[in-house]
């Protein structure tokens, strides 16, 4: 399997080969996903998917580093991107460089940040000028949930759609190597994708993006509760895992586990000696 780099992604965009991306939060998810997908994201969705928070705002740079390090230990061949969490890339250029550079020192190949307003553009320029590749993230940006009043589709009015198109161009000009488009109408994502030279990766953004991303646990049905419209689940993982765990629990209660093949035995002579 080819090691995925940013030039490889750009070549695939030229060739019209669609890019596949999912999240990885630890060594288990990374080992499962790495041989299958092109891009692995240590997403700040770790906050709601793995850590039990309601949204991504409580996720810190320390939490991200902890999960990134676990993924890096599996030496993935996919392009490894780490998500800059809320408040890790806003306060100053210096702190942004320190946090993003810390991801690269730990083994990430690139970082991702949400938003397309002027301050984001400034941060992207600073990062790229220091050799830190950036994926932008536009449309529904979960770190702005308090501003938008919920996880709502963006770009549904003419002015909002034009704003997102404008932000996309600015983020490309600032040096982003790719853009993630979340929760926007398919027609708008198609227009953005056509307008850019860099690849777009969509989630709830229709089929015309250069690639698609879904959260690992969503694809495999490992989350209970509300499932957004844009998710397609390929396994009822939650139910399947519970069913298997429940068979083991039953075997324990019935004395059917462990069996002889799951036990260590003493050599016969010592067995005889301790039997008396």
Q: Which residues bind Na ion (CB under 5 A)?
A: 43-44, 83
Tokens of 96: 């942004």
Pairing of strands 39-42, 178-182: unpaired
Stretch that binds ligand KIV, among 39-47, 115-123, 160-168, 256-264 (CB under 6 A): 39-47
182: annotated active-site residue:
yes
Candidate list 34, 38, 83, 167; residue touching ligand KIV; CB under 6 A: 83
Query: Which residues are within 8 A (CB) of 203 and not within 5 positions of it... i.e. 6 or more apart?
Result: 180, 181, 182, 183, 212, 213, 214, 230
Which residues partner with 182 through β-bridges? Answer: 139, 203
Candidate list 9, 41, 81, 110; residue touching ligand KIV; CB under 6 A: 41
The entry of ligand KIV, Na ion, none near residue 41 (CB within 5 to 8 angstroms by kind) is: ligand KIV
Q: How far is the CB of 112 from ligand KIV (least distance, A)?
A: 7
DSSP three-state, residue 276? coil
- What distance in Å separates the CA atoms of residue 83 and residue 206, rounded to the nearest whole number? 22
Stretch that binds ligand KIV, among 26-34, 37-45, 127-135, 165-173 (CB under 6 A): 37-45
Looking at 69, 167, 182, 262, which residue is catalytic?
182
Q: How many CB atoms are closer than 10 A to CB 5?
A: 13
Peptide bond just before 264 cis, omega within 30 deg? no
Candidate list 215, 219, 220, 222; residue touching ligand KIV; CB under 6 A: 215
Peptide bond just before 258 cis, omega within 30 deg? yes
The reply, when asked if residue 114 is annotated as ligand binding, is: yes
Tell me whether residue 38 or residue 44 sits nearer to Na ion (CB atom).
44
Question: Which residue is listed with tokens 């009015």?
Answer: 157
Residues forming the annotated binding site for Mg(2+)?
44, 83, 114
Residues that bind ligand KIV (CB under 6 A): 23, 41, 43-45, 83, 180, 182, 203, 213, 215
Active site residues: 182
């Amino acid at each position: 399997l080819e090691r995925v780099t940013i030039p490889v992604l750009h070549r695939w965009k030229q060739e019209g080969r669609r890019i596949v991306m999912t999240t990885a939060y630890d060594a288990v998810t990374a080992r499962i996903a790495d041989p299958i997908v092109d891009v692995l994201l240590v997403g700040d969705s770790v906050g709601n998917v793995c850590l039990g928070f309601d949204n991504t705002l409580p996720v810190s740079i320390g939490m991200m580093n902890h999960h990134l390090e676990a993924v890096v230990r599996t030496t993935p061949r996919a392009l490894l991107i780490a998500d800059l969490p809320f408040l890790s890339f806003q306060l100053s250029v210096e702190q942004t460089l320190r946090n993003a550079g810390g991801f690269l020192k730990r083994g990430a190949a690139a970082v991702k940040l949400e938003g397309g307003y002027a301050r984001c553009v400034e941060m992207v320029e600073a990062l790229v000028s220091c050799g830190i590749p950036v994926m932008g993230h536009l449309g529904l940006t979960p770190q702005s949930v308090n501003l938008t009043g919920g996880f709502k589709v963006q770009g549904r009015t003419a002015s909002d759609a034009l704003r997102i198109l404008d932000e996309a161009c600015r983020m490309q000009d600032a040096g982003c190597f790719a853009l993630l488009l979340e929760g926007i109408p398919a027609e708008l994502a198609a227009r953005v994708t056509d307008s850019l030279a860099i690849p777009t990766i969509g989630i709830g953004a229709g089929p015309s993006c250069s690639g698609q991303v879904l959260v690992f646990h969503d694809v495999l049905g490992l989350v209970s509760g509300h499932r957004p419209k844009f998710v397609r689940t390929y396994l009822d993982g939650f139910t399947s895992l519970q069913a298997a765990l429940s068979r083991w629990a039953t075997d324990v209660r019935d004395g059917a586990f462990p069996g002889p093949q799951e036990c260590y035995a003493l050599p016969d002579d010592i067995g005889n000696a301790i039997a008396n």
